[in-house]
Structure 1
Amino acid sequence: MTRKINLPPKKERHRLFGSVEPGVKLKPTEKEQMPDLQNTKKDFLFTIDAVGISNVKHPIIIHSDLLPKEQTTIATFKMTSKISYDSKGTNMSRFTEQLEQYRQNGGFVLTLSNLYDFTKELAERLKQKDASIEVTFPWFYERKGPSSELVGLNHAEASISVTYQDGVGFTSSASLTSAITTLCPCSKEISEYSAHNQRGFVTMNVEFTEGYDEKTDWKAALLEAAESNASAMIHPVLKRTDEKVVTETAYENPRFVEDMVRLVAADLYELDFVQAFTVECRNEESIHLHDAIASLSYRKED
């Protein structure tokens, strides 16, 4: 039998669960009269390399050379600045104020030029000589089945970073992680028939050249470097005729993780807008409990 409950008024219910009446408030309520601990000037021993906020979720607008040409997604922001030994702290609210300002002015469009403007303005808002921003987001692109040509959406994990330093200028970099298929060359070589394959992940971190103007979509270029060197590409929609093409393509193009990082590195080396790069390939092995990994780094001569 359900017990009948005689509910007291809401205010009494709050008191029942611990709420109390507001106490006497003696501290100032006007901003100008409030103490500002962050702006305290004193010898605080050490300069801090980076202080700010991270794990900030915010909508962004992305332009792409691949369909869909324009897309809205949710990005994760990290924003920091250096503070000298004689400053106690930073003004955390100014980071999100800057982000909101861009949202209200038509949305945060993720281009390198916008990020340059954002970081310089952020440094000025913080009254610091530097600022950094890192934006991480899923990037979607259409992929057709190789035989049926049925379309679906794939996605890669992308990230772009910009640092501004007063009197020095900007540095910028980006990364992309793409899923691929790899087929084991050793398995193919020693087996009478068949060969084991696995899902691999290629992560490319690139440093942009000073004159990079985004006429080439860095996302599409890095995706091409990963997928064109794999045993086969990953597809969101596969019919039987597609699966035949994909599995045969993988068998015709066996790849170790060592092969992958060298082949991808060669493509990145040929990209004019890339000054330096790191490539890593990680295979989720299908016949082992461990992953197989390889990586290499290279910097072009200035």
Structure 2
Amino acid sequence: MNKTELNQNKQLPSKKERHKLFGSVEPGPRTKPMEKDQMADLQNSKKDFLFDIDMVGISSVKHPIRIPSTMTPEIQTTIGTFSFGSSIAQGSKGTNMSRFTEQLDKYHNEGFAMDIATLKQFTEELAGRLKQTDAEVEVTFPWFFERKGPYSGLAGMNHADATIRVEYDKETGHDVTVTLTGKITTLCPCSKEISEYSAHNQRGNVTMSVKLTDDFKEQEIDWKAALLEAAESNASARIHPVLKRPDEKMVTEQAYENPRFVEDIVRLVAADLYEYSFVEAFTVKCRNEESIHLHDAVASLSYDKKKEAE
């Protein structure tokens, strides 16, 4: 008799007995109420709990979302990673965590689109649901856009990482910050200057965090496309998913004609953001993945237009 036949003939105890073998016990007596209105609510206790809490909530919540875009594809579904929060006064013990996900499910059932107006409404309603005067939501998602080869016109999909953060306060209203990280090609000016032929290049990662003005109108401006253009138009060359040989010739020659240090990138992108009327303040960061070093080259720049006016 082989091993397979032995296993087939093994007499196992019942599933209930197997569970007991591995530690399961019979349910004990149930003495506490099952009705919600009869249960103790520790989170709503009112005492002096020593300190106010700046923010309490939940994070790393993944959920399907819809992304509107002015670039192809104009409507796309993807996965958003959310965090939610609100403040807690010294006299309250805690928050009701389930209300964050209840709010998310409510909007999902109504077709949750990741636009600024919807997220403003979301945070204001969330504050009311939590019985607080403030609330915040942050969602990060991949945003896809079509990119065509400059000569062949053959298309493929690129993507950038986008984040929307909306903070609501009953007294001051909404603050909205958007962030986009896109990839570019940069060619080293120093390498081009000192070498007899060629120059080394690298893939750059440009992150732009922008505080939007109060009068920003998303129906007039796609902030994602605008920030992407600020990064790509100031690069040595754009990134392409599909390149035939004539495309590759054009892209590499363009990079050679437009050498950029990491310092150049943040200054040039900052100039574009400065000229955008819907931008109140911004931070630009660039990280170049060096092709002839193990380290990355980095630079960052921040600017607040409001301080300029003071």
CA displacement at 1:56 relative to structure 2: 0.3
Q: Distance in 1 between matches of 2:261 and 2:222?
A: 28
Q: Distance in 1 between matches of 2:63 and 2:276?
A: 31
Q: 2:184 aligns to what?
A: 180
**Residue-by-residue CA offset, 1:66-116 (whole Å, 9 max, x unaligned):** 0000001100001000001111110000000000011112x2111111011
Give 2:200's match in structure 1, choosing from 189, 196, 200: 196
Q: How does 1:260-271 map to 2 (within 5 A)?
A: 260-271=265-276
Q: 2:150 aligns to what?
A: 146
Q: 2:101 aligns to what?
A: 96
Q: Distance in 1 between matches of 2:238 and 2:172?
A: 41
Give 1:21's match in structure 2, choosing from 26, 33, 36: 26
Q: Distance in 2 between matches of 1:268 and 1:104?
A: 36
Q: Taking every aligned residue pair, what percent have the same amino acid on both sides?
A: 68
Q: Distance in 2 between matches of 1:291 and 1:6?
A: 62
What letter corresponds to residue 150 of structure 1 in structure 2?
Answer: L
CA displacement at 1:8 relative to structure 2: 2.1
CA displacement at 1:177 relative to structure 2: 0.2
CA displacement at 1:241 relative to structure 2: 1.4
Give 2:55's match in structure 1, choosing from 50, 57, 66: 50
Q: 2:278 aligns to what?
A: 273
Give 1:129's match in structure 2, choosing from 130, 133, 142: 133
**Residue-by-residue CA offset, 1:179-203 (whole Å, 9 max, x unaligned):** 1110000000000001000011000
TM-score (norm 1): 0.98
Q: Distance in 2 between matches of 1:177 and 1:120?
A: 28
What letter corresponds to residue 58 of structure 1 in structure 2?
Answer: H
Q: Distance in 1 between matches of 2:291 and 2:98?
A: 48
Q: Distance in 2 between matches of 1:13 and 1:244?
A: 68
SS state at 2:72 partner:
coil
Q: CA RMSD in A?
A: 0.9
SS state at 1:54 partner:
strand
Q: Distance in 2 between matches of 1:43 and 1:236?
A: 59
Q: Distance in 1 between matches of 2:21 and 2:243?
A: 60
Unaligned runs of 5+ in 2: none
Q: Distance in 2 between matches of 1:65 and 1:270?
A: 21
**Residue-by-residue CA offset, 1:140-199 (whole Å, 9 max, x unaligned):** 000001111111000000001111101211111100000111000000000000100001
What letter corresponds to residue 76 of structure 1 in structure 2?
Answer: T
Q: Distance in 1 between matches of 2:171 and 2:300?
A: 35
Q: Distance in 2 between matches of 1:290 and 1:88?
A: 47
Task: Establish whether residue 108 from structure 1 lines up as the match of residue 112 from structure 2.
Answer: yes
SS state at 1:248 partner:
helix
Unaligned runs of 5+ in 1: none
Q: 2:41 aligns to what?
A: 36
Q: 1:295 aligns to what?
A: 300
CA displacement at 1:245 relative to structure 2: 1.0
What letter corresponds to residue 212 of structure 1 in structure 2?
Answer: F
What letter corresponds to residue 254 of structure 1 in structure 2?
Answer: P
Q: 1:157 aligns to what?
A: 161
SS state at 2:190 partner:
helix
Task: Establish whether residue 227 from structure 1 lines up as the match of residue 232 from structure 2.
Answer: yes
What letter corresponds to residue 183 of structure 1 in structure 2?
Answer: L
Q: Distance in 2 between matches of 1:199 and 1:285?
A: 7
SS state at 1:11 partner:
helix
What letter corresponds to residue 243 of structure 1 in structure 2?
Answer: E
**What is the total number of aligned residue pairs between the two structures?**
301
Q: Distance in 2 between matches of 1:92 and 1:126?
A: 9
SS state at 1:68 partner:
coil
Q: Distance in 1 between matches of 2:202 and 2:20?
A: 60
Q: 1:73 aligns to what?
A: 78
Moved segments of 4+, more than 6 Å? none
Q: Distance in 1 between matches of 2:173 and 2:292?
A: 49
SS state at 1:88 partner:
coil
Q: Distance in 1 between matches of 2:295 and 2:92?
A: 47
SS state at 2:46 partner:
coil
